[in-house]
Structure 1
Amino acid sequence: MKGKLLIIEDDAGIGGMVSDYMAKEDYCSRIVEDGNEALAQFQSDAYDLVLLDLMLPGRSGLDILQQIRSISRVPILIVSAKDNEVDKALGLRFGADDYIAKPFSLIELSARIEASIRRATQYSVPEAAASPAAGLLTAGELTVDPDSFMVRKRGEEIKLTAKEFQILKLLVQHPTRVYTKAMLYQLVWNDEYYGDENLINVHMRRLREKIEDDPSSPRYVVTLWGIGYRLGEV
């Protein structure tokens, strides 16, 4: 079996059609037609991808999207008749990995599902590594506390934004790993990377300004030109 899908879709005909087609592609599916039941079902089992309609009875798709994204990095693909730029932007900004409008091609849908699961498999950090039980993380003179979201340098607290903290935690947790900008976007922003280098560059510059003794010659956040970022040898 390639994977397990949660299909959140109030149209039984569409949900059944997608489920039947994906079964031929070697996927197992569970269909939920009510927004209020969606989160309970998601939390009751493990899924490799969520197909999410935006217009649902009981609870909106965007609300479900935010709730799932707050507890999981599972790929989420929006399938909706609301085919306009505002809805697409909202869905992607709230954490969806992809967006396909109704009516859609089952062949295209299958390809997008496979691509989303592949990206998640390539870029994700294992849950056990992402949420270590070991407590404090250290790198040189930095101490990172994943539980309290606190960073200290030489005993003094450094105030970081949520994104800056997530970037630093990734680097400190995996000191030998190199993260491309696409990987950072996937892991920190929970979003597909569209080449917006300025957003990542700004966050890296601000992070360095806060944690480095000399931001122009960083020790902690090191750039590998043309590849990405890693923790320096501190």
Structure 2
Amino acid sequence: MHVLIVEDDRRIADALGEAMQRFGHEVVWVATGREALAAAEKTEFVLLDLGLPDLDGQEVCRRLRKRSWVPIIAVTARAEEVDRIMLLQAGADDYLIKPYSMRELLARMDAVARRVNGPTSPGGDAESREDRWSAGPLVLDLRTRQVEMHGQSVSLTRREFDLLAALAIDPGAVRAREDLINEVWDANWHGSTRTLDVHVGSLRSKLGGREWIESVRGVGFRLAVPDAA
């Protein structure tokens, strides 16, 4: 796999690059956010340090996500929950708090790669296409990972799309919080469960209202088609 390391500390970058190469990955190193934006189109995975000299790592992540689905794991010393939530909202697939072990980094890379290469797939659909699902004005295309509402494109992050797809497996059925976290994030996810609530809130906003995703107290969430949709 072609890995882009975005790290302004040459010593750290060299050690990380050597470790990646030992496990068979091709590595490109850049030290700034602007270099990362220029190099990202030719990579398959991004390891992004947030403390860059020119652009904040969250801004780099946000710009990358607007134009690419390349997997991004952010590496940060910011341990506050609000920082982690903002990072995930910016489009990162996962994050690691410094200091971290190489074993954990590689495990998280494998987990993210599995999610990206095998996205959640709703079982049935109303249009006799396995990769397309619709309910009222909402259309979800798994092959292209595109969403439309009333014929207009809806821009979602990778996690938002996977969460919507997980809810669309069985519209109206309640999906437990734990199941959604395991499916959309990872069975070994150790972050705050508030991450799920943040993504649900963002989805509701982008779909046009809270009524699209109903909360079931003490259990989880379900996708519903509003009567007026």
Q: Which TM-score tier does this pair reach, normalised by the shorter chain? A: 0.5 to 0.7
Task: Give CA deviations for 1:39-85 in whole Å, capped at 9, x if unaligned.
Answer: 01112x131x2100111011110100001111222221111222332
1:58 to 42, 54, 58: 54
- Counterpart mapping for 1:24-173 below 5 A: 24-43=22-41, 45-47=42-44, 49-123=45-119, 149=148, 151=150
More displaced stretch, 59-68 vs 94-103: 94-103
Q: CA deviation at 1:195?
A: 8.9
Q: CA deviation at 1:121?
A: 1.3
| Root mean square deviation of aligned Cα | 4.3
Counterpart Cα distance in 2 of 1:182 and 1:33: 33
Counterpart Cα distance in 2 of 1:160 and 1:185: 22
CA contact (8 A) 1:185 1:193 kept: no
Counterpart Cα distance in 2 of 1:96 and 1:145: 22
Task: Give CA deviations for 1:97-148 in whole Å, capped at 9, x if unaligned.
Answer: 11112222112212111221122112178xxxxxxxxxxx996986969999
- Counterpart mapping for 1:178-217 below 5 A: 181=180, 185=184, 194=193, 199=200, 203-205=212-214, 208-210=224-226
Percent pairwise identity: 29
Q: Secondary structure at 2:46's aligned position in 1?
A: strand
**How many aligned residue pairs are there?**
182
Aligned CA distance change for structure 1 residues 124 and 66 (closer, same or farther; 3 Å) = farther
CA contact (8 A) 2:4 2:43 kept: no
Q: CA deviation at 1:193?
A: 10
1:16 to 6, 14, 17: 14
Q: CA deviation at 1:184?
A: 8.4
Q: Which amino acid aligns with 1:105?
A: S
Counterpart Cα distance in 2 of 1:94 and 1:17: 27
List gaps (5 residues or longer) in structure 1. 126-136, 153-158, 187-191, 214-234
CA contact (8 A) 1:123 1:183 kept: no
CA contact (8 A) 1:50 1:74 kept: yes
Q: Which amino acid aligns with 2:73?
A: L
> Structure 2 length normalisation: TM-score?
0.60
Q: CA deviation at 1:210?
A: 3.8
Q: CA deviation at 1:208?
A: 3.9
Q: Secondary structure at 1:123's aligned position in 2?
A: coil
Counterpart Cα distance in 1 of 2:77 and 2:154: 36
CA contact (8 A) 2:58 2:87 kept: yes
CA contact (8 A) 1:160 1:207 kept: no
> Structure 1 length normalisation: TM-score?
0.59
Structure number, greater radius of gyration: 1
Q: CA deviation at 1:86?
A: 2.5
Counterpart Cα distance in 2 of 1:20 and 1:38: 19
CA contact (8 A) 1:52 1:76 kept: yes
Aligned CA distance change for structure 1 residues 116 and 37 (closer, same or farther; 3 Å) = same
List gaps (5 residues or longer) in structure 2. 122-131, 170-174, 186-190, 205-209, 215-221
